[in-house]
């Protein structure tokens, strides 16, 4: 079956990583797949194509307009896919018009955000052939808020973009030495785009109140509009030597391998890629209970779930793991097993393809 994966721009976010991963997975499974973006380029633009995967953009030059999709309907008709899957808020806004223009095609909306939804996206959720939510919490919210029949919504969790590789001990040491961390340093890690809702600044404030006799560092990897504010807060608190900003990395695996605990203070999620990736690399997780976060780990077994904005309890959880290496070790082993068992790329790709075949089959019945 021919598959069209639609994304506005391949910026450095989690949804964009999933778009590339899914397109590549569909192609490797033998299905001709087109990854079509509105804007050309982007940090995650594939540089090496694989058989049966093609990449194209609708805009010839980049005017930096995420919403502009010139000739989308014409291109979709020319490709004649059996499946169109819309990824990201902007692409999902076009789901309704795509389904209307290509009634024989199964157009699939996706829900992968805890943010408020644009009007066009809400209409697409109600009119496309099917909806995929990346968490049960997002599914329930879509059903309750937007009157979508439960049978029209499937839950498929995010897939592991960076499964753990076999890391050599010296690799861990080299990464830690790069930031001045010793073997005794407790390294806290968060990998996410710097947007206000990701709330990295809360992690800066929580870390600043850790006891002075605890050797710790906080690594905040990623880029985005809230980065400058976080940097300024770290400087103002006199923590430039303890809080580090590695920037955006195409593959943050070296950070996962070198850190000790995953910390995440996001206010809005639907399912956190970071928490899945971190646990797959054996990091216990401490996170605020944002939408869908509880589905990424097992509270008290692979990490600690904190009521949103309870910074004192968040700090206490860090100290609890910092001072109990046995508990941290148990959580680490359980986290790795849990993430690899429940979020493997092969399992998630199969879930998508099984659903696609089901939709095509039901559409062909008289």
Tens of pLDDT, residue by residue over 204-215, are 999 999 999 999
9/19 Cα distance (integer angstroms): 10
In the prediction, which pLDDT does 81 show? 98
Reported confidence tier of residue 224, pLDDT bands at 50, 70, 90: very high
2/318 Cα distance (integer angstroms): 48
Domain boundaries, the chain: 3-159+344-364, 169-342
In the prediction, which pLDDT does 322 show? 96
Is the pLDDT assigned to residue 283 strictly greater than 90?
Answer: yes
- HSE-up of 221 (CA within 13 Å, CB side)? 23
Lowest mean pLDDT among 48-57, 141-150, 230-239: 141-150
In the prediction, which pLDDT does 168 show? 59
Q: Which of 285, 256, 249 is nearest to 167 (CA)?
A: 256
Q: Which residues pair with 175 in a beta bridge?
A: none
Is the pLDDT assigned to residue 28 strictly greater than 80?
Answer: yes
Reported confidence tier of residue 292, pLDDT bands at 50, 70, 90: confident
Q: Does domain 169-342 have CATH number 3.40.50.2000?
A: yes
β-pairing, 33-37 vs 3-7, is parallel
6/34 Cα distance (integer angstroms): 8
In the prediction, which pLDDT does 242 show? 97
Is the pLDDT assigned to residue 366 strictly greater than 60?
Answer: no
Lowest mean pLDDT among 14-23, 90-99, 157-166: 157-166
In the prediction, which pLDDT does 365 show? 54
- In the predicted model, what is the mean pLDDT of residues 319-344? 95
Give percent of the chain above pLDDT 90.
82
Q: Which of 86, 81, 154 is nearest to 123 (CA)?
A: 86
In the prediction, which pLDDT does 362 show? 83
Residue 281 is classified by DSSP as T
Scanning 259-310, the segments in alpha helix (DSSP H) are: 273-280
Lowest mean pLDDT among 59-63, 65-69, 115-119: 115-119
Is the pLDDT assigned to residue 167 strictly greater than 60?
Answer: no
In the prediction, which pLDDT does 165 show? 72
In the prediction, which pLDDT does 143 show? 83
Tell me the torsion sign for CA atoms 252, 254, 257, 263. Answer: negative
In the prediction, which pLDDT does 328 show? 95
Is the pLDDT assigned to residue 170 strictly greater than 70?
Answer: no
Reported confidence tier of residue 364, pLDDT bands at 50, 70, 90: low
Angle subtended at Cα 73 by Cα 69 and Cα 97, rounded to the nearest 5 degrees: 90
Give percent of the chain above pLDDT 70.
98
Are 3-159+344-364 and 169-342 equal in CATH topology? yes
Residue 150 is classified by DSSP as G
Q: Which of 133, 219, 208 is nearest to 181 (CA)?
A: 219
CB distance 84 to 107 below 8 Å: yes
The structure's pTM equals: 0.89
- In the predicted model, what is the mean pLDDT of residues 111-119? 82
Classify domain 3-159+344-364 at the CATH superfamily level. Glycogen Phosphorylase B; (3.40.50.2000)
Mean pLDDT for the chain overall: 93
Helix H or strand E encompassing 133? strand 130-133
Is the pLDDT assigned to residue 141 strictly greater than 90?
Answer: no
Lowest mean pLDDT among 48-57, 165-174, 224-233, 263-272: 165-174
Is the pLDDT assigned to residue 166 strictly greater than 60?
Answer: no
Q: Which residue has the higher pLDDT, 250 or 259?
A: 259
SS3 195: coil
- In the predicted model, what is the mean pLDDT of residues 153-178? 84
User: How long a stretch of residues is the chain?
Assistant: 366
């Amino acid at each position: 079956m021919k598959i069209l994966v639609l994304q506005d721009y391949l910026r450095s976010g989690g949804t964009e990583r999933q778009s590339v991963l899914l397109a590549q997975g569909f192609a490797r499974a033998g299905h001709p797949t087109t990854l079509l973006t509105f804007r050309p380029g982007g940090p995650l633009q594939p540089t090496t194509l694989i058989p049966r995967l093609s990449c194209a953009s609708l805009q010839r030059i980049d005017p930096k307009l995420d919403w502009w999709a010139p000739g989308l309907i014409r291109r979709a008709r020319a490709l004649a896919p059996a499946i169109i899957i819309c990824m990201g808020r902007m692409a999902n806004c076009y789901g309704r018009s795509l389904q209307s223009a290509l009634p024989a095609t199964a157009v699939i909306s996706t829900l992968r955000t805890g943010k408020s939804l644009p009007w066009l996206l809400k209409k697409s959720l109600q009119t496309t052939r099917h909806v995929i939510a990346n968490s049960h919490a997002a599914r329930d919210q879509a059903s309750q808020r937007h009157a979508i029949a439960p049978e029209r919504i499937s839950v498929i969790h995010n897939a592991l973009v960076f499964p753990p590789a076999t890391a050599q001990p010296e690799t861990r040491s080299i990464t830690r030495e790069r930031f001045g961390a010793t073997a005794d340093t407790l390294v806290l890690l968060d990998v996410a785009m710097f947007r206000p809702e990701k709330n990295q600044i809360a992690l800066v404030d929580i870390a600043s109140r850790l006891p002075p006799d605890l050797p710790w560092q906080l690594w905040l990897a990623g880029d985005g509009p809230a980065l400058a504010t976080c940097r300024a807060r770290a400087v103002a608190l006199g923590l430039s030597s303890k809080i580090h900003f590695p920037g955006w990395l195409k593959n943050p695996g070296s950070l996962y391998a070198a850190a000790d605990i995953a910390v995440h203070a996001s206010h809005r999620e639907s399912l956190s890629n970071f928490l899945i990736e971190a646990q797959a690399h054996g990091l216990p997780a401490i996170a605020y209970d944002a939408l869908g976060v509880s589905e990424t780990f097992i509270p008290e077994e692979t990490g600690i779930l904190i009521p949103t904005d309870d910074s004192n309890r968040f700090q206490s959880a860090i100290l609890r793991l910092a001072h109990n290496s046995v508990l941290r070790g148990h959580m680490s082993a359980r986290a790795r097993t849990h993430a690899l068992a429940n979020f493997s790329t092969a399992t998630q790709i199969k879930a998508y393809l099984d659903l696609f075949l089901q939709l095509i089959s039901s559409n062909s019945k008289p």
